[in-house]
Chain A
Amino acid sequence: MNEADRRRIYVTLICAAIASTPLPASAQIFSNAVVSPAVKPTPAEPTADLKVFSATSQKVKWSGEGSNAVAFDLCVASSTGRFRLQVTSQSGGTMLGAATGGKLGFSIRFRDASGQVQEKTLGGQAVVEFEGSSPAQQDCSTGANASIEIDNKEGDMLAQPAGDYMDRLLLSAEPL
């Protein structure tokens, strides 16, 4: 038997096997198939990418009037084009006064790659989530495409004694 004959026979056998297998039989087909691991048709796993482009530590002195905002340039991208960004406050949703022990509330504005802006006030809750999109980027190899802005309201600032108030935010992106 030459090479061409062998190929024909094998293809015929495979087709016969598919036709005779009762449905639903996807698992059987998959498990019985003669498939090399190297070519197994596994769908690509969705991935998300997140990078902080600004200095990851920023300190802003309030002018004494208006709100107090500090922004971080980010890249958040997903291979699916959609992602969920989870922001976790390590101080339980407030900025803690180092010397005063006071708790300063804040809100987070997130702008995604599509330009959509969402704002959420933590109000003592440690975790907030945003859903966003990165229509033109699957990863963060090309630079910043988003931002988060941490904002303290004037009333909250006036209510606290003078001093430094700090929080560490963990940003986590997952594909949707």
Chain B
Amino acid sequence: MKKIIALAAVAVAIAATPAFAAKDGKLSKNDSVGKVDVTAVIPPMVRISGLTDMKINVTPADLLNPYFSRQDTETKFCVYSNINADGDYNITVDGDSAAAGGSHGPFTLGGSGGNLDYNVWVSDDVNNGFRSGGSGYTWPGNVKTGYKTTGGGLARPATIDCSDVGNNAALHIGIDNAAILAAQSGKYKGTLTVTVSTL
């Protein structure tokens, strides 16, 4: 009897196979599932860029102007920080100073005629180089805290060169007229090193 059944099965298979596929048209599916966990770690990062050299050309007319007792200039630059949503950072300005060590004395330019003191402000508000209330005033080695890339109301930059929001910080220098008048004529030069750091 087993042989009979086997033969019958073959016959039915031959006749039925095309219709079976065409009619049903659906094949059972088995899903196979896996999972993976992926974590990207963005490290804390700060970067300063876009600083440019500053130059003050003093003229007699500048010194005679009764409304200004100081000759100023500033440069605007970019600070990128991803420390938090506000882009907080610390900033330090270093440079030569003839003042006694440990004092909050001014920076000093050097020239053939001697030294020339000048003052420095650093600001996280690109539209106010002195920072609110003049709080940007600094001296060599002083670590200024609480600065933000959003300090001037700009969005935190999403590019390391601030190409998306523009410069967001300013470095301002000023030489008192009295110091200029006391100095010999000539060129006075100095270098400032600006360091931004994570908190």
A interface with B by C-beta (< 8 Å): 3, 6-7, 10-11, 14-15, 18, 24-27, 29-30, 33-36, 39-41, 43, 45-52, 54, 56-62, 64, 68, 70, 72, 74, 95, 100, 102, 104, 106, 148, 150, 152, 155, 157-175
Contact = CB atoms under 8 A, between A and B. Distances in A.
Interface string B13-33: 101111111110001111111
Nearest to A36: B5
A5 B158 CA distance: 89
Contacts of A56: 34-37
Given A34-B5, A61-B43, A157-B42, A48 B30 contact: yes
8 contacts: A30-B19, A41-B16, A95-B38, A95-B40, A106-B40, A150-B40, A160-B82, A162-B44
Contact of A172 (B15, B32, B39): B32
Contacts of A35: 5, 8-9, 12
Nearest to A171: B34
Contact of B42 (A27, A45, A162): A162
Contact of B35 (A95, A162, A170): A170
B178 interface: no
Contact of B16 (A26, A68, A104): A26
A47 B13 CA distance: 23
Contacts of A164: 39-42
B65 interface: no
A52 B27 CA distance: 26
B48 interface: no
Contacts of A104: 40, 42
Contact of A162 (B3, B22, B83): B83
B4 A39 contact: no
A59 B22 CA distance: 49
Contacts of A102: 85
Contacts of B22: 26
A165 B32 CA distance: 27
Contacts of A33: 8-9, 12, 16
Nearest to A166: B39
Nearest to B21: A43
A11 B11 contact: yes
Nearest to A25: B19
Nearest to B84: A161
B69 interface: no
A15 B82 CA distance: 81
Contact of A170 (B8, B19, B33, B83): B33
B48 to A, nearest CB: 14
Given A104-B40, A152-B40, A169-B35, A29 B30 contact: no
A158 B30 contact: no
Contact of B8 (A14, A150, A160): A14
A170 B30 CA distance: 16
